[in-house]
Amino acid sequence: GKCKIMKTTKAVALRHVPQTAESMPGKRVCIVGSGNWGSAIAKIIGHNVKASNRFEPLVNMWVFEETVNGRKLTEIINNDHENVKYLPGHKLPKNVIAVPDVTEAVAGADILVFVIPHQFIGKLCDQMKPHIKPRAIGISLIKGIDEGPAGLTLISDIIRTKLEIDVSVLMGANIANEVADEKFCETTIGATNEQNGHLFKELMQTPNFRITVVSESDTVELCGALKNIVAVGAGFCDGLGFGDNTKAAVIRLGLMEMVAFSRLFCKNPVSSATFLESCGVADLITTCYGGRNRRVAEAFVTARKSIAELEAEMLNGQKLQGPQTSAEVYKILQKRSMVDKFPLFVSVYEICFEGKDVKEFIKCLQNHPQHM
């Protein structure tokens, strides 16, 4: 009750602010993506834009059109205000409009929120490019990296380059269903442009979704991608029945590899403090105990099926990021002749893709160089 009263008074107070160019109402928001996490964030954004005069109250959400029980998914969302496939049981605000055509969805948008599986981003940006408003800004909630011609490419770099806009990132210990249930959690926005970072914070923060803005955008984004590899390792441990002490070792050694990898590949200096934000240690812990990467990796040990088969069986159309990211990282380490420096990352890759026996996983922990 108390929070609601505070929110309304804030909204009322804002309406009496004298109009400056910056406070003119009407920044139009488009959410690019509508899976589990996209729908959870749409729920927050839909409510927040109504409470602030900085944003237009209608929000377009691009939905990859598919048929669910004989009906189009966009039709279900727009009539029943629920994404029955990816976030069942949650009502989406009525001002969130599902649009099946991405070019139509982004037309006229000032703020683009990207939340799709990382495999699809390049192709989608190419489709969007002619329709992007000059001076639009973006934020990526996408956890993954790409292996470009020059080595590592961050997803935000792909968006930045293809759309020629400023891009921030949001990463944190945010399991989508818990965020949708409004259980308290924290998250981190990495923004090299501080003003944009704070605008995104205003768009997405709620009493139960608490945001810290930091300037080390690349580190924040790498944390979001790399922790999924570690979570696969944690899932192997669970499948092999190794217990919590072993999993704690996976988390610690995995974090060390995350820090070492970030220091190698970030153009800007990397501070340890960023790893203590929600995007670092918190996201790593929650993903190693919950999350789909851990779950599928555990089944990989017990069910003796391939990762691709398990993804199709267990994830209801969602994509798995951990194994794919381990493959990107492996290629990059190979190019730099550093495969032997990252035993945990490499072991996850070899087990997922090269037929190495999962029982061997413990060896990468036993022989790990404890200081990197």
List binding-site positions for substrate: 143, 292-293
Give the DSSP letter of residue 340. Answer: G
Residue at token pair 């984004």: 221
Q: Measure the CA angle with vertex 76, ends 73 and 80; round to 5°.
A: 155
Reported as type and span, the H/E element at residue 359 is none
- Give the CA dihedral 36, 38, 41, 43, nearest 10 degrees: -80
d(CA 179, CA 235): 23
Bridge partners of 31? 61, 113
Name which of 116, 244, 239, 123 is nearest 138 in CA terms: 116
Calculate ∠ Cα 209-180-65, nearest 5°.
125
Known binding-site residue numbers: 33-38, 64, 120, 143, 176, 292-293, 319, 321
Lookup: tokens for 101: 């055509």
Instruction: Decide: helix, strand or coil at residue 148.
Output: strand
The binding site for NAD(+) consists of 33-38, 64, 120, 176, 292, 319, 321
CA gap 155, 171 in Å, rounded: 13
Q: Which two tokens stand for residue 261?
A: 């990898």
Burial of 21 (C-beta count, 10 Å sphere; 0-12/13-18/19+): exposed
Residues listed for the chain: 372
Tokens found for residue 273: 């403090």
Residue 227 annotated as catalytic: yes
> Of the residues 43, 85, 227, 247, which is catalytic?
227
Q: What does the alpha-carbon distance between residue 252 and residue 218 come to, in Å, rounded to a whole number?
A: 21
Query: One-letter amino acid identity for 44?
Result: I
Give, as one character, the DSSP assignment of residue 131: G
Residue 75: burial class (beta carbons within 10 Å; 0-12, 13-18, 19+): middle
* Integer Cα distance of 321 and 315 in angstroms: 12
Active site positions, annotated: 227
